[in-house]
């Protein structure tokens, strides 16, 4: 069973792997596209060691749900905000 403890008002965060893990990231990607119906999504990850694997799982879920993923890699939150505004897209992580 997946934990929902990491779901907050404006984001998803928590302890890896108890609150956030690759399976949850994949499922979020699948649902994200279905709920928002966006053809392109910007993603990135922070410096934590778990970032690349969680980001890859999210990307897989997004792609399998039909979205094109623009992965800007390791970055700060402000870079995600800039990329989404500049590219006129939505952000997933």
21, 56, 12: which is closest to 1 by C-alpha? 21
Task: With beta carbons less than 8 A apart as the criterion, state whether 81 and 90 touch.
Answer: no
Is 41 exposed, middle or buried, given 0-12, 13-18 or 19+ CB atoms closer than 10 A? buried
Tell me: the pLDDT tens digits for 7-48? 888 788 889 998 899 999 999 999 999 998 888 999 999 999
Distance CA 13, CA 9 (A): 10
Name the more confident of 90 and 33.
Answer: 33
Tell me: the pLDDT tens digits for 47-80? 999 999 999 999 999 999 999 999 999 999 899 9
Report the DSSP pairing between strands 40-45 and 68-74: parallel
Name the more confident of 1 and 2.
Answer: 2
């Amino acid at each position: 069973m997946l934990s929902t403890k990491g779901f907050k008002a404006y984001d998803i965060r928590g302890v890896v792997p108890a609150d956030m893990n690759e399976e949850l990231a994949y499922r979020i990607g699948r649902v994200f596209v279905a709920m928002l119906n966006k053809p392109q999504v910007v993603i990135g990850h922070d410096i934590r060691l778990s970032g690349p694997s969680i980001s890859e799982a999210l990307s897989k879920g997004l792609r399998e749900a039909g979205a094109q993923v623009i992965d800007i890699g390791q970055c700060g939150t402000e870079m995600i905000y800039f990329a989404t505004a500049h590219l006129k897209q939505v952000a997933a992580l």
